[in-house]
Chains A and B, each alone.
Chain A
Amino acid sequence: MLDFRLYMAQRLTALIMAPLVLGHIAVMIYAIQGGLTSAEILGRTQGSVFWFLFYGLFVLAVCVHAAIGIRVIAHEWAGLKGAALSALTWATGLGLLAMGARAVWAVTVP
């Protein structure tokens, strides 16, 4: 169910995300002070190549990582197998990719 390729994808995306998560937590602690406004968030992120690459990479890694994690849980706890399990893995990954790409685009590009 988790062969070597899926395992490596899971662990490598985890390694990629390790510094990104630290950065994300640091930004959250910094940004939450005095409340959140869209002007504050977008003022920081819009037009920034750095934040586009930072969150773009984060979304790419998390959709792979979460899809494999959901796959394992669905198999072990819900008994999903075969084609249904593959379909769930792909749907999770692609769904998160589509929504995540849209979010990154919305806060960094316009």
Chain B
Amino acid sequence: MIRPARTHPLWLAYLLHRISGLALALFLPLHFWVLSKALTAPDELDAMLAFTDNPGVKLAEFGLVFLLAVHFFGGLRLLALEWLPWSHGQKSAAAAALALAFFVSGTFFLKAI
């Protein structure tokens, strides 16, 4: 199997960083809208929060926490690459960012269920 030009670890890290950032940016308006219900319609807010007891929603929340964590750790890796004189070991650092994101979001999930 011949590897296409893109499938190498740092390209995948770039794609994950971009997709997670895009997904978070698209989620934010929904997040803000739900929270602003505290002001305008407190009953609706409670109804929406009750909705989060649904196992499917818990899984989606796990996904969101994972996206946030992987964007956070991946972003720290990029900041370190750009601003600190360490450019070696980037593949290991990207793998570590992914592992930490799974650890953090997994902890969240275990507490949620």
Contact = CB atoms under 8 A, between A and B. Distances in A.
Question: Do A and B come into direct contact in the complex, CB within 8 Å?
Answer: yes
Interface string A20-44: 0110110011001101111001100
The A interface, classified by DSSP as helix, strand, loop or mixed, is helix
Contacts of A32: 61, 108, 111-112
Interface residues of A, number: 34
A108 B45 CA distance: 15
Interface string B81-101: 011000000000000000000
Contacts, number: 91
Contacts of A96: 25, 28-29, 32
Question: Chain B interface secondary structure, helix, strand, loop or mixed?
Answer: helix
A100 B75 contact: no
B38 A107 contact: yes
Interface residues of B, number: 37
Interface in B1-58: 18, 21-22, 24-25, 28-29, 31-33, 35-40, 42, 45-46, 49, 52-53
